[in-house]
Structure 1
Amino acid sequence: MRSRTGGGGVTNDDIPIGRRVASWRVRRSMTQQMLADRLRRSKSWVDKIERGARALDRYSVIQEVAHVLRVDPEVLLGQPPSTPAGTPDGVDDIRAALARYDIPQAAPRTDELRRQVGHAWLTYQHAHYGQLVRVLPGLLDAAQGARSPELLVQTYRITSSLLVKLGEADLAWLAADRAMSTASDDPLLAATATISIAQALRAQGRDHLALAALLPAANRVLPQSTHSGDQEVCVTFGDQTSRKPLDHEGQGDRWGRAVGGVLLVQAALAAVGCGEHRRADELIDRAVGVATNLRGYDDTHHTSFGPVVVELARVLVAAQRGDADAALQRHSTIVRREGWRRLPAEYRSAYLVDVARVYLQVGDLRGAARALVDADCVAPAEVRCRPLARTVIADVARGHPAPAGVARLATLVGLTR
C-alpha cells in the first residue's frame, strides 16, 4: 500500500481522508450540518475537512469522527481494521466452510443436527464467541450436507450473527443471503433470514437497503390488523407493499408475530439510521402493539422479542435522533424490569455498549464507563471481541483520568492511551 499525506489527512491509499468522511456521511444519510452538530463543530469545519482544505491528522479527532459515523478509525484511514486482543481466531475457517460446495458423504441424523444447532444458539446467546468460532465450520459442513432447510437456515443465521459481532459484515451478509436462498419456499423461515440480512446490511452502513428488505417481510408474516390501538401494521417502502400475511393460528401465530415484531424493531433502527425519524417512531409504536398481544410463546426462532426488547429499541432510536437525555431516562427505568434480566447475556451486553455511546453523546464519561463495565460483567466477549466496543472503550479511556474500570478494559483489549 502507498502512504500519502494531503487532501485533508493521511491515508494508506490514494483516497484522501476527507473524501472518506464525506462518503460515510452520505451513507449514514447525514448532512454536513448534522455531522457538525454531532461533533459539536461548525458546518464550515466539516466542509473544509471533506474538501481537503483543512487537515484531519490528529488521531483523537479521527476517532471522534469515526465514532459519529459508526465506523472504525482505521476505515477512515484506509487501513485494514486492527484485530483487538481477545478476538477469536478462526474466521478464515468459517469463510472456507462457506466456500465449500461439495456435500459430505455421510450426513448426520436430523435429531443430532438439531441438538448441535440448539447448542450453537445457546453458545451465541451466552456470548461464548471463541467457542462458537471453533464449532461453526464443522456445523456448517454438517448442516449443508443434511436435508433440513430449517436447520440449515438456523446455522447460516448463527454464522451471520457471529460474523457481525466480529466486524466481518461482508461475510455476514453472505451467510445471511445463503439463509434467504435456503428459506425461499417458507415465508416464516425467509422472514427469519431477513433479520440476518438486515443486521448485516446495517453493520455495513446500508440502512436504506435494510429498510427495503425489512418492511415487505414484516407485512408478509404479520396479520393485516396488528393492534397498537387499532392501527393496521401495513408499512410500505416506496411501492413495495405486501398484504398477504401468513395463515396464522395457534403457536404458529405467535411465532409469526414474534418474528414480525423483530422485523419492525430492526426496521425502526434502520429508519432512524436513514434519518427517517417519524417513520422510526411509527414502527416502534407498531412493534409495541405486536409485543402487547404476544404472551407465552416458544421462542423457536430465537428472536428474544417482547415488550422489553421494543422499549430498548425505543431508547436507541431516541438517542440516534438526538434525544439522548430522554433516552437515558427511559433506559434507567427499563433495566429495572424483570424482563430485562430474562434477556440473553449477548443481547443485554450489546445493548449496554450502545448505551455507553449514548452517555458519550451527553458528555457523561462516568455513565459510559459504568455501562461498559456492566456490559463486561454480563458478557465479557461482547466487550472484548467486538471492534465497535473497542472504539467506545477508546473514547471513554481518553478521559483524564480514565474512569475506573475502563483503563483495565483498555489494557485487556490491547488499547493504549
Structure 2
Amino acid sequence: MPVDATPDPYTNPLVFGQRMQVLRTRRGMSRPVLGGLLGRSPSWVKQVENGAIHTPSLPMILRIAEVLRVRDLADLTGDQTLPVDLFIGPGHPLLPAVQAAVNAYPLASDRQAPSTAHLRLRLDRAWAARHEARNHREVIGGLLPDLIRDAQLAVRQAEAAADRRAAQAILSEVYSLGQFFVAYQPDSALLWRVAERGMVAAQESEDLHAIGVAAWLTVQAHRDAAHFDAADSVNRTTLEFLEQFLPDASDDVRAVAGALQFEAGYTAARRGTSGTAWSWWKKAHATAQGLPKSYYHPITSFSHAVMSAHAVTVAVELHSGGESVRQAARADADTIPSLPRRSRHRIEEARALQLDGQPDAALAALAKAHECAPETIAYNGYARRIVLEETESKSPGRRRRASELAVKLGTLAA
C-alpha cells in the first residue's frame, strides 16, 4: 500500500479514532457535520480521530455508529470478539426460499402463466396481509417465491405488447414487495438485485404507478447506503417525469409523488439541511391534503395519517430533540392502519425521546413498537442502538428493562 493511502479499517489493526476517521471520510462527511450530528464540536471529533481523546463510552460509540451507518460495531471498534449488527437484522428463515426465487434463471415452463388479473388479486391480498401482520416478513416471505415465479412467467408468455407491459407492472410491484422482505437482512447484494429488477420492469411497463413505487424504494436503498447524491438524482428525475401527468393522475399516482416528495425531505434531513428538509415535508403535506381523508396508499403508506409521523422522522434526522418530541406529541399512532408502519412510528418516537433526554419514555415507546409489530423493531438499527445503549444505564430498573427488550430483539442472549 502506498504510504499516503487511506488505511483500511477492515484489514489493518487501527485504533478507534483512526477507524472513525476512515469511515467518516468514506461517507463524505466533514468533521463539523459529524460533530453537529453527535452534539459535539469539530475539535472534539478531531481529538478523537487523532487519539487525544481515547475510545468514547458505549452510548457515544453507538451514536457514532448510527450516524456513520456502521452495520457492524466491530468495523468501528476493531473488536472482532463481540460483533454486533446494528443496521442488519437477523436472517429470516424464509430468506433462502426468496433468494432462490430471485436468483433463478427460468427459460422455459410447461405450465400456463396466471392472468395479470389473478396476479393483481394475489398482490393486493399480499399487501393487505403485510399491513395487518405483526410479523410481516413471515407473511410475505411465504408468498413471495410463488409470486416471483408466476409474475416472471406472465412476462415471458405475454404475446401482445399491452399484455407484456401489464405483466411488467405486476412483476415490478412483486419486486417492490420483495424489498420490504429483503431490507435489513444479511444479503445486501440481493436487495440491490431486487431494486434494480423492479426499476427495469417498471420502465418496461410504462406504468406511472409502478415507475413511482420502484423509484421510491430505490431512493430508500441509496439513502440507507449513504448514497445521498444518487438518492436525490433518482428522486428528482422521477418527480420531474411524474409532474406532467399529475393533474389527471389517479390518487395512487399522486400519492406516490407525495411519497417521493417526503423522501426528498428525508434525505435532506439525513444530510443535515433543515430548511430543505422541511420545505419538502410541506410539499408532501400539501399533496396529502389533496387526497381523500380516508385514503391510504397500500405500498408507501402515504396518507393524511402518516404525515405527522413523517414530521417526527424529519425532526429526529435533524437531531432536534425538542422539536422531535413536539412533533411526536402531535402524532397519533393509532390513526396509522398498517401495523408495521405504526411500529416504525413508535421507533421514531423513541428516537425523539432519547434525543430529548427521556430514556425511560424511549424504552416505553420501543416496548409499544414491539407489541405492535415485533419483526419491525427486530430489524430496525435505531431501535437496536437505543436498547443496547440503555443496557449500560446506571439506573438498575432501566438497565433491566433494556436488557429484557434486547433479549426479545435477539441482540442479547437470554
TM-score, reference length from structure 1: 0.81
Residues 64 and 256 of structure 1: is their aligned pair in 2 closer, same or farther, counting only changes over 3 Å?
closer
* 1:2-401 correspondence to structure 2 within 5 Å: 13-14=11-12, 16=14, 17-26=16-25, 30-51=29-50, 55-56=54-55, 61-72=60-71, 73-77=73-77, 82=85, 87-103=91-107, 105=109, 106=111, 107-125=113-131, 126=133, 127-147=135-155, 148-166=167-185, 168-184=187-203, 185-222=206-243, 245-246=244-245, 248-249=247-248, 252-295=249-292, 302-335=299-332, 340-399=334-393, 400-401=395-396
> Measured at CA, do residues 397 and 123 of structure 1 come closer, stay the same or move farther in structure 2, by a change above 3 Å?
farther
Say if 1:279 and 1:38 are closer, same or farther in 2 by CA, change over 3 A.
closer
Alignment partners' CA distance in 1, 2:9 and 2:144: 35
Q: Is the partner of 1:183 in helix, strand or coil?
A: helix
Q: How far apart are the structure 2 equivalents of 1:325 and 1:361?
A: 8
Per-residue CA deviations over 1:136-191 (Å, capped at 9, x if unaligned) read 23322222111311211111001112222436444323211111101113333211
Q: After superposition, what is the alpha-carbon deviation per residue over 1:239-283, rounded to whole angstroms, capped at 9, x for unaligned? A: xxxxxx12643xx43222111000001110011112322211111
Quick check: 1:140–1:155 contact (8 Å CA) kept in 2?
yes
Q: 1:85 to 1:315 in 2, by over 3 A?
A: closer
Output one character per residue of 1:360-391: Cα deviation in whole Å (capped at 9) or x when no partner: 22221112101101101111111124444322
Q: Which runs of 5+ in 1 are unaligned?
A: 1-6, 223-244
Contact 1:255 1:300 in 2 (8 A): yes
Say if 1:211 and 1:267, in contact at 8 Å, map to a contact too.
yes
Structure 1 residue aligned with 2:160: none
Counterpart residue identity of residue 405, structure 2: L
Q: Counterpart amino acid of 1:352?
A: R
Change (3 A) 1:275 1:333: closer
Encode CA deviations 1:191-217: one digit per residue, 9 max, x unaligned. Answer: 111011011112212222111111221
Deviations 1:289-341 (A, max 9, x none): 111111168656523212332222222212222322122112112126xxx42
The answer to whether the Cα contact below 8 Å between 1:195 and 1:266 also exists between their aligned partners in 2 is yes
Tell me, in whole angstroms, the C-alpha distance in 1 between the residues paired with 2:172 and 2:295: 18
Give me the whole-angstrom Cα distance separating, in 1, the residues matched to 2:297 and 2:412: 43
Q: Which has the higher helix share?
A: 2
C-alpha contact 2:346 2:369 (8 A) present in aligned 1? yes
**C-alpha deviation, 1:82, in angstroms:** 4.3
In structure 2, the partner of 1:240 is: none
Identical columns (%): 24
Aligned length: 383
2:291 touches 2:303 (CA, 8 Å); kept in 1?
yes
- The answer as to whether partners of 1:104 and 1:142 remain within 8 angstroms in 2 is no
Q: Tell whether the 8 Å contact from 2:38 to 2:63 is kept in structure 1 after alignment.
A: yes
Secondary structure of 2:309 counterpart: helix
Q: Is the 8 A contact 2:199 2:214 kept in 1?
A: yes
Which residue type is aligned with residue 88 of structure 1? H
2:409 corresponds to 1:413: yes
How big is the shift at 1:91?
Answer: 2.6
Q: In 1, Cα distance between the equivalents of 2:193 and 2:281?
A: 28
Following TM superposition, by how much is the alpha carbon of 1:402 offset from its aligned partner in structure 2, in angstroms?
A: 4.8
Matched letter for residue 137 of structure 2 = Y
**8 Å CA contact retained: 1:169, 1:200:** no
Which one-letter code corresponds to 2:396 in the other structure?
Answer: P
- The answer to whether the Cα contact below 8 Å between 2:378 and 2:410 also exists between their aligned partners in 1 is no
Q: Which amino acid aligns with 1:63?
A: L
Question: Structure 1 pair 51/221, CA: closer, same or farther in 2 (3 Å)?
Answer: same
Q: Deviations over 1:61-89 (max 9, x none)?
A: 43232133343324435767649896522
- Which secondary structure state, in structure 1, belongs to the residue aligned with residue 302 of structure 2? coil
- Tell me, yes or no, if the aligned pair for 1:36 and 1:42 is still in contact at 8 Å: yes
Is the contact made by 1:167 and 1:387 (CA closer than 8 Å) also made in structure 2?
Answer: no
TM-score with structure 2 length normalisation? 0.81
One-letter amino acid of the counterpart of residue 171, structure 2: L
Per-residue deviation, residues 52-111 of structure 1 (Å, max 9, x unmatched): 565438655432321333433244357676498965223343333222221451223334
